[in-house]
């Protein structure tokens, strides 16, 4: 069974609009971390945001926020005020185990975001 599911292979958003990229996960571990990475066409993996399973508040980093719904096992990424430079692949990932756990990341298949001018 897939541990990370990203159901949107591709998304379009108008520049300056907000967009939500979906991610659902599956784990039986009570401690886990959820990550979003951006991969532009140049190929590098850029860390965007992290949410711990015990974090009380949704994570935010600038224009990025994570809509964490633990009961639904979802960790959607919200990008506000989209910019042309946001066009990229976005990967959701999970690490089982809490802070201090150094387990590997399990990635979803990604969502390709295209920002239209």
Partner 1 sequence: EPEVTQTPSHQVTQMGQEVILRCVPISNHLYFYWYRQILGQKVEFLVSFYNNEISEKSEIFDDQFSVERPDGSNFTLKIRSTKLEDSAMYFCASVVPTYNEQFFGPGTRLTVL
CB of 106 to partner 1, least distance (A): 7
Out of 37, 66, 88, 111, which residue is the one contacting partner 1 (CB under 8 A)?
37
* Beta-strand runs (E) in 15-87: 19-21, 24-25, 32-39, 46-52, 60-61, 64-69, 74-79
Report yes or no: 17 and 79 within 8 Å, Cβ to Cβ.
no
Q: Please give the angle made by the CA atoms of 23, 61 and 59, to the nearest 5 degrees.
A: 55
- Closer of 10 and 18 to partner 1 (Cβ): 10
Site string (51-90) toward partner 1, x via CB under 8 A: -x--------------------------------------
By CB under 8 A, tell whether 109 contacts partner 1. Answer: yes
SS3 79: strand
By CB under 8 A, tell whether 11 contacts partner 1. Answer: no
């Amino acid at each position: 069974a897939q541990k990370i599911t990203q159901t949107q292979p591709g998304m379009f958003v108008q520049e300056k609009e907000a967009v939500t990229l979906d991610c659902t996960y599956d784990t039986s571990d009570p401690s886990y971390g959820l990550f979003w990475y951006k991969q532009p066409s140049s190929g590098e993996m850029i860390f965007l945001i992290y949410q711990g399973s015990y974090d009380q508040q949704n994570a935010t980093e600038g224009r990025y926020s994570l809509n964490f719904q633990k009961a639904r096992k979802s960790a959607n990424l919200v990008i506000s005020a989209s910019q042309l430079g946001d066009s990229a692949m976005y990967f959701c990932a999970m690490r089982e185990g809490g802070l201090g756990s150094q387990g590997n990341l399990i990635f979803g298949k990604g969502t390709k975001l295209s920002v239209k001018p």
